[in-house]
Amino acid sequence: MEVGERVESDHMPIVVTVKERVGRGGMRGRKEEERWWEEWNGARKVEGNLEREQKR
């Protein structure tokens, strides 16, 4: 990802500019972001596991 690049995803209604993430916000911003990603990734892992279980 380049600085200032806009990042969009089909799954998430957010747009992140990399410059803002790296620059302003400091630790608090990063911590909140990390926690949010942990929750998001955790939910996706659970969905993936459920799908795999059903295919067996």
- The model's confidence at residue 17, banded by pLDDT at 50, 70 and 90, is low
In sequence order, the β-bridge partners of residue 16 are 7
Average confidence score pLDDT of the chain: 61
**In the 8-state DSSP scheme, what is residue 17?**
E
Is the distance from CB of 18 to CB of 7 less than 8 angstroms?
A: yes
CB 25: neighbour CB atoms within 10 A? Answer: 13
Which one-letter amino acid corresponds to residue 45? K
**Contact in structure between 4 and 18 (CB atoms under 8 Å):** yes
Residues 23-50 have pLDDT tens digits of 555 555 566 666 776 776 776 666 666 6
Residue among 12, 8, 31 at smallest CA distance from 21: 31
Tokens of 11: 């799954």
Q: What local confidence, expressed as pLDDT, does residue 35 receive?
A: 72
